[in-house]
Structure 1
Amino acid sequence: MTANIFGSSAAPKIGFYPAFIFVAFFSLIPAVATLGLSFTDITGVTGVPINWVGLDNYVRFFSPSQVSETSNALINTLLFAVGVSAIQNVVAFFVAVLLNRQSKFALFTRSVVFLPTVLGVTVVGMLWTLIFNPIGGPAQSFLSLFGLRSSFFGDPNLALLLCIFVQIWMTLGYASLIYTAGLQAIPQELYEAADIDGANVWQRLKNITVPMIAPSITTNVLISIIGSLQSFQLIYVLTGALNDSTSVLSLLLYRVGFGIDPDRGAEQGYASAISIIQFMFVAVIALGSFWFLRRRENQL
């Protein structure tokens, strides 16, 4: 009887329930609660009554009175995500090709490339804030050699580009290691056969390397897209919460939910609606990217 209860068929089920409870408690319940709050006018202030407002928060997000704020956040979010995902994956691939070469310093160089990933968002943000300090920072000192000056993160035309650069620098190591693992899994016999056939570097890259690391490309692109679409911590540290030139959707949610704007208080009901809209926004883009990338994998 004991063997039947704790046999091989029952063991996976026993292990499933704690995991399901964990996910439900920390993911499903907060998600359902957020959805419910998005239909109310809750502010988070003690003693203020909570009223059911239905779809008013969603209508407000797309209303003409909010269009400048929300469209700016959506455009910045897309620019940030596209810039980070495209540049990071191209650079990470070529860095991985260099890291994949046999060298006695290979482990050291991989550790150096991966180091920014483990520093943490706050540390990275403060580091680059000091580097781009417009008053005596290293970047400003370099520009001064050419008689130039810049406010860097205070420049509305430059701030978002610098945030993209710092985000790529911080996450490049993780993407490079994924590509390196994919490159190391490619059988060397394929390259040897290509050399015998007289294939050049471009032909080897196109016909062997890229098709063989297609799963790594899919993984990296999805991670970078989903991460950058939801990112706000680094931007917050670098430029603050009230810089419109770097206001992304997550940062708008934070500003509204905690009442960061001096001219309005906390509006957690409206912030909950923004979070649901962001979830749908990220889900559509992520699922569309996943479908396209998997289709490309099959074609390759």
Structure 2
Amino acid sequence: MSQQNSFIFGRRSTAQLTFLAGIGLVVVFSLVPAVGILVISFTDIRSLPFLPTHWVGLENYRTFFSSAQIAYNVHALKNTFVFAITVTVIQNTLALLIAVLLNQRLRGRNFARAVVFMPTILGVTVIGLIFTLIFNPSGGPAASVWKSFGSSSAFFGDPHLAMALVIAVSVWSGIGVAVVIYLAGLQSIPSELYEVAGIDGASSRQRLRFVTLPLLAPAVTANTLLSIIGALQSYQLIYVLTGPINPATQVLSLAIFTQGFGGAQGGAVQSQGYAAAISMVQFVIVMIVSVATYAYLRRKETAL
């Protein structure tokens, strides 16, 4: 085989050009905006026109950690971790079980796979509208069921129930992608390994524990990282379901949105500079959590 045919794109120059184009897109659409947000976080820029912008240095970061803001921000950060960890654990557990089930030779499994993946193609607004109608306290189906037990609830307006409902909706809306990734991993496992394990007398649970899970470890790592990073940065569904000012579901990403685009809470004046500072704090948190999670899961892959 010639050297020219050893490249996917046919020629070395074409491959290099494609690689440089990809790097250029990353720089333009990721690196430049990130640097811009970092610069903005050191200013007092606001959305009101004709207001002068001043360089304030670390003032926005001091505000974030100040006594006036720390209680609100710590509460938002706690909600963020509760939301991210719970969604990641429940979503991946259910997705793995569903993927194992749908990987069997069952009648109608293709239709079942389509149904499981269907929520993924729905927009956040559509999902929010569906579940807002379902949990409408004035006459939704959930209210009718609640009423049959002689009780009532405000659902997304209930501070004791709102976060649990948002987590459930988030898991439902995102489980399709996780199932697809797990299915791809399961289908790459040679069937001969299960046959050998069966000959050795391994039960279904033992085959899952000693054959499926070790070979599915890369898919578990990918799904866990996607879930936890997405959940740490998520606010759209929370905003649609509970609004921007519900303390029970206030997360750090929603604080960034309200500071940048309206509805600022916690006593701070709306400021894009302060919102940028919060986003940089969030970036550091997401980076630390992602690197730590990746390192832990890679060690577990090696151990398996």
Alpha-carbon deviations, 1:4-37, whole Å to 9, x = none?
xx98332222112222222221111111111001
Which secondary structure does the structure 1 equivalent of 2:104 belong to? coil
SS in 2 for 1:66: helix
Say if 1:39 and 1:57, in contact at 8 Å, map to a contact too.
yes
* Counterparts of 1:38 and 1:246, CA distance in 2: 25
- Rounded to whole Å, the distance in 1 between the matches of 2:292 and 2:29 is 26
Moved more, 198-207 or 237-246: 198-207
Moved >3 Å (runs of 4+)? 261-265
Structure 1 90/24 Cα, relative in aligned 2: closer, same or farther at 3 Å? same
- Deviation string, structure 1 residues 188-247 (Cα, Å, up to 9, x no partner): 111111111111222111110100100110011000000000000000000001111101
Of residues 82, 86, 91, the one that matches 1:83 is: 86
The 1:12/1:192 distance shift into structure 2, 3 A limit, reads same
Could you list the per-position Cα deviations for residues 129-181 of structure 1 after superposition, in whole angstroms to 9, with x for gaps in the alignment?
A: 11001010000100111101010000011101110000000011111111111
**What CA distance in whole angstroms lies between the structure 2 residues aligned with 1:206 and 1:283?**
31
Matched residue type, 1:107: N
1:94 Cα deviation from its structure 2 partner: 0.6
Given that residues 253 and 274 in structure 1 are in contact (C-alpha distance below 8 angstroms), is that contact kept between their aligned partners in structure 2?
yes
CA apart distance, 1:289: 0.4
Give the match for residue 268 of structure 1.
Answer: 272
Unpaired stretches in structure 1, ≥5 consecutive residues: none
Q: 2:49 matched to 1:46? A: yes
Equivalent residue number for residue 193 of structure 1: 196
2:298 corresponding residue in structure 1: 294
Q: 1:264 to 1:270 in 2, by over 3 A?
A: closer
Name the structure 1 match of 2:175. Answer: 172
**What is the aligned partner in structure 2 of residue 58 from structure 1?**
61
Which residue in the other structure is 1:32 paired with?
35
Q: Is the 8 A contact 2:255 2:264 kept in 1?
A: no
Structure 2 matches for 1:213-224, cutoff 5 A?
213-224=216-227
Task: Give ranges in structure 2 of 5+ residues lacking alignment.
Answer: none
In the alignment, what sits opposite 1:159?
162
3-state SS of the aligned residue for 1:65? helix
Q: Which residue of 2 aligns with 1:285?
A: 289
Contact 1:258–1:265 (8 Å) recurs in 2: no
Percent identical among aligned pairs is 50
Work out the CA distance in 1 between the residues paired with 2:155 and 2:233.
23
Amino acid at match of 1:272: A
How far 1:184 moved relative to its partner? 1.2
> Which has the higher mean CA deviation after the structures are superposed, 159-168 or 6-15?
6-15
Report if aligned partners of 2:217, 2:301 keep a CA contact under 8 Å in 1. Answer: yes
Could you tell me which amino acid in structure 2 is paired with residue 187 of structure 1?
Answer: P
Shift of 1:298: 1.0
* 1:207-218 mapped onto 2 (5 Å cutoff): 207-218=210-221
User: Which is further off, 252-261 or 146-155?
Assistant: 252-261
Cα offsets for 1:56-108 (capped at 9, x unmatched) = 11111111110111001100000000110001111111111111111341111
The alignment status of 1:255 with 2:262, answered yes or no, reads no
Deviates more, 1:234-243 or 1:22-31: 22-31
Separation in 1, partners of 2:180, 2:12: 37
Can you list the C-alpha shifts for 1:272-292, whole angstroms capped at 9, x where unaligned?
A: 000111111101101110111
Query: Counterpart of 1:82 in 2: which secondary structure?
Result: helix
The 1-side partners of 2:21 and 2:204 are apart by: 51
**TM-fit CA distance, 1:42:** 0.8
Structure 1 pair 45–291 and aligned structure 2 pair: CA distance change class (3 A): same
Distance 1:7 1:150 in 2: 63
> How far apart in 1 are the matches of 2:261 and 2:198?
61
CA RMSD of aligned residues (A): 1.6
